[in-house]
Amino acid sequence: MENLIALLVAAPLLGAAVLLCGGRRLDRTGHWIGTLLAVASFAVGVLLFTDMLGKDAEHRALHQALFSWIPVEGFQADVAFQLDQLSMTFVLLITGVGSLIHIYSIGYMEHDERRRRFFGYLNLFLAAMLLLVIADNYLLLYVGWEGVGLASYLLIGFWQHKPSAATAAKKAFLVNRVGDMGLSIAIMLMFTTFGTFAFGPVLESVGDTGEGKLTAIGLMLLLAACGKSAQVPLQSWLGDAMEGPTPVSALIHAATMVTAGVYLITRSGAIFNAAPDAQLAVVIVGAVTLIFGAIVGCAKDDIKKALAGSTMSQIGYMILAAGLGPIGYAFAIMHLVTHGFFKAGLFLGAGSVMHGMNDEVDMRKYGGLRKYMPVTFVTFGLGYLAIIGFPGLSGFWSKDKIIEAAFAYDDGIRGWIFGGVALLGAGITAFYMTRVMIMTFFGEKRWQPDESGNEPHPHESPKSMTIPMIVLAFGSVFAGGLFSLNESFVKWLEPVTQFEHPHPVISVPAITASTVVVLLLGAGLAYLMYGRKPVPVTAPRGSLLTRAARRDLLQDDFNHVVLVRGGEHLTRSLVYVDHTVVDGVVNGTAAGFGGLSGRLRKLQNGFARSYAVSMFGGTAILIAATLLMRAV
Amino acid sequence: MSFPLLTATAAVPAIGAIVTAAVPAARRTAAKWLALFFSLVTLVLAVLIGVRFAPGGDRYQLTESHSWIADFGVRYELGVDGIGVALIGLTALLIPFVLLAGWHDADPQETGSKRWRPTQGFFALILMVEAMVILSFEATDVFLFYILFEAMLIPMYFLIGGFGDRAHAGSDEKAAAQRSYAAVKFLLYNLVGGLIMLAAVIGLYVVAGNFSLQEIAAARASGELQMATSTERWLFLGFFFAFAVKAPLWPLHTWLPNAMGEATAPVAVLITAVVDKVGTFAMLRFCLQLFPEASKWATPAILVLALISIVYGALLAVGQRDIKRLVAYASISHFGFIIMGIFAMTSQGQSGATLYMVNHGVSTAALMLVAGFLISRRGSRLIADYGGVQKVAPVLAGTFLVGSLATLSLPGLAPFVSEFLVLVGTFARYPAIGIIATFGIVLAALYSLVLYQRTMTGPVKPEVSAMPDLKVRELVVVAPLIALLIFLGVYPKPVTDLVNPAVGHTLSDVHEKDPKPEVEAAK
């Protein structure tokens, strides 16, 4: 069985290679090849999963060693895979949702002349993401980690002729590189501390070193997670990443890649468990981001950017849960999976809306679409109910557990703070999602003909697009409940992540009740603001907070002034310094020895050749003299 | 006596150079094919060296030794260790691609050039450089090495000064003047370095009484040959200075952007991917082996200079407006990594540095040669003159992207392996320096992706709208390089197996052991 693990990666990798090198002759079949290989990878995943279920909980992990990758004295990096319950969960999510999104893209990208290449990139993404979650050491994980970054770069910038897309792609890669520094340094610290960076040996020997080292490693891993998972302070790229085609936003920038940070922290649980300070930092980052993303989500009129804010916020929940230790890991992953279903579904729904609305993304120009797109409306609506945590649906089960665990951070004030933040986030979530729902599907139609007189004619999308939405809607409704039956999900992950029951500072029924109350308050407020009166087509000026939130709470402005402008000045002045000072000083010093600069100046007058010849003459004489010495 | 494989590997391109130069002026194409043929024979011989070399065997293998200048004890003494084998392989591998990429670079221009058989000369000079570089990787006699180190400047000078990039702004006269300036600057910098080295070579002879690397190193190791601390330091500095100019190390780097900017793209590759490697190679072989104590004494200063090179080179690359100068500054940053890895004095650092020399050669060749194809189409080196090339020439853009990704050390491609080894090897002994160097990976992403964005993406500029995609000859150049970047990124073991034992020897020369991991050290 373990020999099949490599196939998970090999199938989509083959697809990427064939599609990207195959040339135009594959234009007509490329999307089928890509989809087939994605589904093949999913089939292998299911096969491995059923096999795993047949074994008892402690003996489910599989290992496959392929070859020695970088053998250098004292340094051992292998290409080897590890498939345990945590990896398996990701494999099914990635290949499952991934296959659905391949199918959806067949219809969505139908009119794009570069569709073959799009599927090549999607396959490349699957291969890299699978490598990330089945690697058995941090360095190989790093390969997958940057591989998904590359796929994300290529897909955000897929419509390269748009300068905004090219800029967004570059920004995403660069911000992620800052996070990658963290991963690099973490691996280097592991190497100097443990002499290895394979998961098994590192996580087992955590007890042999001091807390200081572990805290440092933990913080560096957190930096990496912040980049990939768009957490404050490295969150600024995610909103811009919506420049990519919408299936990409669904697969990469909502369901899978952006959750890699949660995987990294959960996988490194043993390190964080032994480093409470690092854990606290994780929880704070998660708490800050979940509010930050939610506020941004409230102000955006672009449907995809509103959903991007929401993604940031939901991943904030997961990061917060992962920072709580054994009481939170399982719930972080559970929310990750349910979020994968409903957020992918919401994005595909948004894509379906755009598809019917001539690629319009401004929700102020939607309105009343439920009549024109019934399937999209129902599936999107179920995703909406799931994400706000409507009792019984997926989000309710997973998010509620995180709120409980947050209240159990400790017995004192911190438990109240983090629990309160998580609860508040639930309210804001209900607010911004209700706003999206109302502005898109309810009220009167607000679209108008554009300058050339083209009026959108909203219509339902083709089957290849609606079927994946329906499948994901099923997941949004039932997954959470299914996972919570007998705590089956928690028990499934327990051998890998450990599990302790949280003991919140207030009773569980009270938390559940307040969650529902907060939810109703948020949704009700949104109804009052957007459902009771017509939505203006042009955005009102808004309060100071709204205006700041529209600009992503001014982080881009900060980056622009400090990093971009500052950097430009720095490099420009360095170029000047290099031309004048460094060059000048070195030439000048040399001139002191041999009149070099005077001669250099002569060159401009055309003495170059003669000068060079004289230099060669000198060298030749030198060599000749040496040879002559031999004769003497 | 067995077949002198090492001599043959250097002799074949040298003979090729003479034969190519002798081809009559009218038979230009024949000369090109001849040159390519000789470079391929050289490649076969280089592969043979790799096959015959036994990693884990004697330190120097396939040795040859003949008396040359008996009165001075100068010998024609050759031998290779794993590092030499890897670099000979790199050189022999790259030259055919350099020749192919420069196939039309020296064709007579329509205006009618008065140059004496420029095409034959161009190809012959490249082969001549190849011969000298290969021999310098083989020389184990210090004097022989010095002669080669200096002599390779001559063909390089003519390649830079005589065959400039045809894409230039301004008049032909102005371009010629700039080219001459670049060529002479290259020559003067390297000659000054060489002269200082000559003094050190003579000094070494005075102290040691002969020029044999192996004999001197053995005498140093056994304690037979003692050097006063100050003597050792002065000699070390003399050698190191020459190598640091060639490598080049900040602040001795300013000749490189001029030379790479003005030369044709294949010659630029020859400079940075092949010739400059002699500098870093010689640091490993001569500085560390002959002057171990002085090397350790100078380590802190050299590491700081290397660190400055890394960050400074990358920042300047960001600020460039000329594509080829950008690649030059990126190379300066990469040479900083190589030198840092050498002087980190750890197995990972030095194996990584050696691997870095090979990988940097391949990745720079890929990026620079594609850049050359791009530049020859539009007739401009300025980044701002491009835009939207991806739309009209997708294969060219795709290969350019792979080259850029290799330059920024994307995991999965060869340069990542070596860069990470250098970083981890440095971090193990000097954590602060290792951490600052990691900023290099962010800056590398910045200059690489900005270059790609400005040239390849966005709306198609009218001037590039009719740009043809890569031709077959150009694909033949680029595709194998890209395949090699992927292969060495996934499976670098063939090279590391070669290099590891040699690095072990070098580390024992300087009496250094790898720092033990904290957990193990505690036990």
DSSP state string for A535-589: PPSSPP---HHHHHHHTGGGHHHHHIIIIIIHHHHHHHHHHHHIIIIIHHHHHHH
| Averaged pLDDT of chain A | 87
Which amino acid is residue B2, in one-letter code? Answer: S
pLDDT tens per residue across span B391-449: 899 999 999 999 999 999 999 999 999 999 999 999 999 999 999 999 999 999 999 99
Q: Provide the ipTM.
A: 0.92
Percent of chain A with pLDDT over 90: 54
pLDDT tens per residue across span A228-287: 999 988 888 998 889 889 888 888 888 899 999 999 999 999 999 999 999 999 999 999
The b/e string for A369-382 (b: 16+ C-beta within 10 A; e otherwise) is: bbebbebbbbbbbb
**What is the total residue count of chain B?**
523
Residues 386-415 on B with a CB inside 8 Å of A are 388, 390-391, 398, 405, 410-412
Domain map of chain B by residue range? 1-290, 301-513
Residue A460 pLDDT exceeds 90:
no
Q: Which of B174, B184, B205 to mutate to test the interface with A (most CBs of A within 10 A)?
A: B184
Backbone angles phi, psi at B69, to 5 degrees: -115, 90
**What is the total residue count of chain A?**
632
Which amino acid is residue A407, in one-letter code? Answer: F
Residue with tokens 């990704």: B405
Query: A92, exposed or middle or buried, with CB in 10 Å at 0-12, 13-18, 19+?
Result: middle
pLDDT tens per residue across span A514-562: 999 999 999 999 999 888 888 887 878 778 888 888 877 777 777 777 7
Structure tokens at A466: 């609606």
CA distance B33 to B339: 37
Q: Does B309 touch chain A (CB under 8 A)?
A: no
**How confident is the model at residue A604, as a pLDDT?**
44
A contacts of B348 (beta carbons < 8 Å): 72-75
A196 to chain B: nearest residue by CA?
B517
Determine the average pLDDT of the residues in A555-573.
78
Q: Does B503 touch chain A (CB under 8 A)?
A: yes
Q: Tell if the CB–CB gap between B518 and A194 is shorter than 8 Å.
A: yes
**How confident is the model at residue B510, as a pLDDT?**
85
Residues 126-145 on A with a CB inside 8 Å of B are 139, 142-143, 145
**How confident is the model at residue A607, as a pLDDT?**
44
**How confident is the model at residue A564, as a pLDDT?**
77
Percent of chain B with pLDDT over 90: 64
CA distance A328 to A334: 10
DSSP-derived 3-state class of residue B69 = strand
Q: Tell if the CB–CB gap between A147 and B412 is shorter than 8 Å.
A: yes
Distance from CA of A238 to the nearest CA of B (A): 18
Q: Which of B68, B158, B254 to mutate to test the interface with A (most CBs of A within 10 A)?
A: B254
Range list of H helices, B430-516: 431-456, 472-490, 493-509
Residue A589 pLDDT exceeds 80:
no
**How confident is the model at residue A486, as a pLDDT?**
83
**How confident is the model at residue A627, as a pLDDT?**
55
Q: Tell if the CB–CB gap between B441 and A160 is shorter than 8 Å.
A: no
Determine the average pLDDT of the residues in A481-491.
87
Distance from CA of B410 to the nearest CA of A (A): 7
Backbone angles phi, psi at A72, to 5 degrees: -135, 145
Strands B61-69 and A75-83: unpaired
Of residues A540 and A623, more confidence is placed in: A540
Q: Which residues of chain B have pLDDT under 70?
A: 1, 109-117, 168-170, 522-523
* Widest distance between CA atoms in chain B: 77
Q: Does B24 touch chain A (CB under 8 A)?
A: no
CA distance A564 to A571: 11
- pLDDT confidence of A603, banded at 50, 70, 90? very low
A contacts of B312 (beta carbons < 8 Å): 574
The number of helices, as runs of H, and strands, as runs of E, in chain A is 27, 2
Q: Cα angle vertex B296, ends B294, B301, to 5°?
A: 95
- pLDDT confidence of A444, banded at 50, 70, 90? confident
**How confident is the model at residue B523, as a pLDDT?**
63
CA distance B462 to B341: 46
Omega within 30 of 0 (cis) for the link into A326: no
**How confident is the model at residue A455, as a pLDDT?**
80
Cβ partners under 8 Å of residue A567, min gap 6: B318
**How confident is the model at residue A57, as a pLDDT?**
82
**How confident is the model at residue A608, as a pLDDT?**
47
CA distance B274 to B414: 17
Q: Tell if the CB–CB gap between A163 and B442 is shorter than 8 Å.
A: no
Of A147, A167, A184, the CB nearest to B441: A184
Residue A625 pLDDT exceeds 70:
no
Q: Does B70 touch chain A (CB under 8 A)?
A: yes
Distance from CA of B41 to the nearest CA of A (A): 30
Residue A594 pLDDT exceeds 60:
no
Residues 592-621 on A with a CB inside 8 Å of B are 593-594, 596, 599-600, 603-604, 606, 608-609, 611-612, 615-616, 619
pLDDT tens per residue across span B68-112: 888 778 889 999 999 999 999 999 999 999 999 988 888 776 555
